Amino acid sequence: MNTDSLLKLYNLINEGIYGKTAIKLHTGEKNGPNILPRDMVCVFQQHVPNSNIVETNTLYKGDRYTTESHRETLKVNGWDFCPVDIMDENGTVMLPVRNGKHFQEISMGKNIVNYDSMIVLTHFKGHAMGGYGGSMKNIAIGCADGRIGKSMVHGVSFDNQPADWGRWPSKGRLMENMAESAKAVIDYFGKHIVFINVLRRMSVDCDCAGLSAAEPTIPDIGILVSTDLLAIDQASIDLVYAQPNNQDLVERIESRHGLHQLTAMRDLKMGNPQYELISID
């Protein structure tokens, strides 16, 4: 899995990408060992005309909690080769959630509406609350602003967050909230959004864990691309489950009811769980 493969795959699905293009990347906490390689992302960004990286601030008090600390973290991690738009730096915007069960609208970083297209460039890995982080989580949490939107998705009050993460709403409700937040994003961009999952350095922990992330035990798999959000996350999960040394990651996914992400997306008709894997090797 290398930069040439990434570019070749992207060129197969980029028909709908035009105009000002957001590259939604999880830029990670300082010095995280598992974030996507800077050089790969740099070449990719330069390949996409009129593009830049987009992010939002975090709900938890870490290295990306405020815009100021977030920008310092971006420098530390090497994400300074292009503009990085912290989309909630200047406020928020409400995007509608069509046919939502829990939300009619969700709060996003205000600058999301400045883009014509979005490329969801995702490091696929485990996650402490969601079980796993794929393309859906990347936009569901990653486009929601750090105060209102992320509180909505997590089902907590920003001003009264339980100190114990174990007391936060999780299991099915969190997965459904994430799906509805992601639906707002894909409905906004329509045919002008594509998804890339990079299955490498798949720790059981998210890149938000930074240096404390567990060392990956499952082997690297490769890169998937699709114009279908549900299909790419379903295929990524299926590939993980097909690996012989997958126990740690599968335990993380199942102990957090992570597979309900896929069910929630199916219920909201956010894509097709039936897919065909086409290799370019």
* Residue scoring higher pLDDT (211 or 56): 56
Average pLDDT in the 19-35 region?
A: 94
What is the reported pLDDT for 234? 98
pLDDT tens-digit profile of 198-231?
Answer: 999 999 988 787 787 889 899 999 999 999 999 9
Mean pLDDT over 81-103 rounds to 96
> What are the tens digits of pLDDT across the range 111-164?
999 999 999 999 999 998 889 999 999 999 999 999 999 999 987 766 666 666
For all residues of the chain together, what is the average pLDDT?
A: 93
- In DSSP notation, the chain reads --HHHHHHHHTTTGGG--SSEEEEE---STT-TTSPPHHHHHHHHHHSTTEEEEE---SSSSTTSSHHHHHHHHHHTT--SS-EEETTTT-EEEEE-TT-SS-SEEEEEGGGGG-SEEEEEEE-EEETTTEEE-HHHHHHTTSB-TTHHHHHHHT-BTTB--SSGGGS--HHHHHHHHHHHHHHHHHHHTTSEEEEEEE-S--SS-GGGGGGSPPP-SPP-EEEEES-HHHHHHHHHHHHHTSTT-HHHHHHHHHTTTTHHHHHHHHTT-S-S--------
For 232, residues 6+ apart whose C-beta sits below 8 A from its C-beta are 134, 135, 195, 197, 224, 225, 226, 275
* Range of lowest pLDDT (3-12, 101-110, 168-177): 168-177
Q: Where does the pLDDT of residue 281 fall: very low under 50, low under 70, confident under 90, or very high at 90 and above?
A: confident
Mean pLDDT (whole number) for 257-273: 96
- pLDDT greater than 70 at residue 73: yes
pLDDT class of 166 with cuts at 50, 70, 90: low
The pTM for the full model equals: 0.94
Predicted local confidence at residue 82, as pLDDT: 96
